[in-house]
Structure 1
Amino acid sequence: MSATPTATPTAIANVAVWFEIPVADLARAVRFYETVFAVTLRQEGCPSGMATPMAIFPADDRNAVTGALIQHESCTPGASGATVYLNGGDDLSVPLARALEAGATLAVPKTIITPEIGWFAQFIDSEGNRIGLHSPH
């Protein structure tokens, strides 16, 4: 009987490496997310050369997980797909309040997971996507 080779697990820094949040109106979504997170998104076309407008979230370094708002006919915003959880900072109450002031709808209020894991909340963004926030407090 021959031995079956086993895969050697490789160490990875993050399971997630990139995310895309579909939008119907890129300018409106950029205003919304820049307001919620108090950041500036970098707007550009898709690096592959496709005519796909994008607005990329800032990241601290090359290994940080980040993503973009993306406007493309094949990407439809909606609240029933995968939920992306974004960093709510030290206390997600701050960006959650800004999201609600910017027109978001509260889907799940700030809720404790466990004291060790922290808190989460969810809102429906300007485009109709369900977005999660996570923070330690």
Structure 2
Amino acid sequence: MDKVQHFEIPADDVGRARKFYEKTFGWKTMDFPMPTGLYVGLHTGPTDEKNMWKEPGFINGGMFGRNPQFPITGPTVAVSVANIDATLKKVKAAGGTVVMEKKQIADMGLYAYIKDTEGNVIGVWQDLKNPIKERT
């Protein structure tokens, strides 16, 4: 079974949104400059110096500036998969579509966005540093 790996929130004003989530929920934030712009990591629970969870029971997320060329208009989740290419084929076979083809994110992983049969956009993530076994 593939698991939800993280969530993402687009923002019109990333600085304003960052302050909102820090003040409202006490989340910690961390900047990750990307080729497409600033990506802000949202830590919703205790993490270590490598930004890994210190305890079970929560997921972290990220925030980025809203972009008309990006398929995300509202909050979404990302699912961690063993093989992103195989998963994208499964999406199409099940009646979904790929709205952003896979891209490599630094040396961390491969990422794509899909749309399910109901029009919801979901992220698909394949970790390159800690790969998971492919399920059959």
Flag whether TM exceeds 0.5 (same fold). no
TM-score (normalised: structure 1): 0.41
Choose between structure 1 and 2: higher strand proportion. 2
Pick the structure with greater CA Rg: 1
